[in-house]
């Protein structure tokens, strides 16, 4: 049995990965960061890791030392301590300042990422999750997406748009395929058709739940490097959750323009997304 176990697991893993993008960067530590916001996120991650790491080592070292030093020995009377006010004040004050600093820094970064208006020149891209895939909508040559209304989202109209909306006539859609230009801000319009999904790209340090009945228009990022990544749904959304992934690539702007041109929509902008996978330029 044990001789079969390893080959069996390997086979299963191989099969289950056969249609997924393999993460190209480290799976043991943080994945590569390619988003402009990722530097501050990684910085605060490491600060917290060092603070908690040093604290853990210090606390356990003292504890082990005291356990050995003050162990019960025959003939040695126990020492009774009723605390030390100076020590109490010190070890309460220091964490208060550490937590305050982390909270202020985190709040400032969160404001920068999510609460300020995304840059006006950002490329708008709509992504609507469904069981189990991603409807993606890009603006055409006018650079504008049709307005999305959460109340209008339906099976036939995943983006909740008004078919008469002139901004939408040149939009084009893909299914599970996302291409972003490098160095240009991208503003996402996220929603869901059915249940809660989540837009998650580890290399972007970006995670946002997509709740049906809402359109999230405050998420934006700027990729600083090209590459191929996996968009993974990060909310357990049903039986097919494990395979709810999208192919995401960051390419130079001219390559993006060429790709977008090649996706030119049919004159009657259908709200139904195409499920035909089309190879990304340069792949
Ligand atoms: Cu969608 Cu998990």
Instruction: Check the CA dihedral 154-157-162-168 and report its sign.
Output: positive
Residue 278: per-residue pLDDT = 45
- What is the pTM assigned to this prediction? 0.77
- 3 vs 262, higher pLDDT: 262
For the chain, how big is the Rg over CA atoms in Å?
Answer: 26
d(CA 44, CA 50): 10
Render pLDDT for 189-217 as a digit per residue (tens, 0 to 9): 999 999 999 999 999 999 999 999 999 99
Task: List the residue whose alpha carbon is closest to atom 1 of ligand 1.
Answer: 197
Between the alpha carbon of residue 61 and those of residues 56, 58, 64, 140, the distances in Å are 8, 5, 5, 62
- Summarised one tens digit per residue, pLDDT across range 9-46 is 656 555 554 444 556 666 788 888 999 999 999 999 99
Residue 240 CA, closest ligand 1 atom number: 2
- The Cα–Cα gap between 73 and 55 comes to 30
| pLDDT on residue 24 | 62
pLDDT for the residue numbered 79 = 82
Distance 208 CA to ligand 1 centre (A): 12
pLDDT at 277 (0 to 100)? 45
Q: Which of 230, 222, 221 is nearest to 249 (CA)?
A: 230
Ligand 1: distance of its center to the CA of 101 in Å?
35
Ligand 1 cavity residues, CB under 6 Å = 129, 132, 197, 233, 235-237, 241, 244
Residues pairing with 208 in the sheet: 199
pLDDT at 181: 96
Model confidence band, residue 5 (pLDDT cutoffs 50, 70, 90): low
């Amino acid at each position: 049995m044990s001789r079969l176990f390893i080959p069996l697991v390997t086979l299963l893993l191989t099969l289950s990965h056969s249609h997924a993008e393999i993460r190209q960067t480290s799976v043991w530590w943080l994945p590569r960061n390619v988003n402009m916001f990722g530097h501050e996120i990684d910085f605060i991650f490491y600060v917290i890791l060092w603070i908690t790491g040093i604290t853990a080592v210090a606390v356990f070292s003292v504890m082990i030392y005291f356990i050995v030093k003050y162990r019960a020995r025959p003939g040695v009377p126990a020492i009774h301590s009723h605390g030390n006010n100076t020590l109490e004040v010190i070890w309460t004050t220091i964490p208060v300042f550490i937590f305050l600093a982390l909270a202020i820094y985190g709040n400032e970064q969160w404001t920068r990422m999510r609460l300020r208006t995304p840059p006006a020149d950002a490329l708008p891209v709509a992504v609507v999750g469904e069981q189990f895939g991603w409807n993606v909508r890009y603006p055409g040559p006018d650079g504008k997406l049709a307005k999305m209304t959460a109340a209008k989202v339906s099976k036939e109209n995943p983006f909740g748009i008004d078919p008469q909306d002139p901004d939408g006539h040149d939009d084009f859609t893909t299914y599970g395929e996302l291409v972003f230009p490098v160095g240009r801000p991208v503003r996402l319009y996220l929603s869901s058709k059915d249940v809660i999904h989540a837009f998650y790209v580890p290399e972007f340090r970006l995670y946002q739940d997509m709740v049906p009945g809402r359109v999230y228009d405050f998420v934006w990022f700027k990729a600083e490097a090209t590459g191929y990544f996996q968009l993974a749904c990060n909310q357990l959304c049903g039986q097919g959750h494990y395979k709810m992934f999208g192919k995401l690539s960051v390419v130079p702007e001219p390559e993006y323009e060429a790709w977008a041109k090649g996706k030119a929509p049919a004159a009657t902008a259908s709200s139904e997304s195409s499920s035909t996978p089309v190879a990304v330029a340069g792949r």
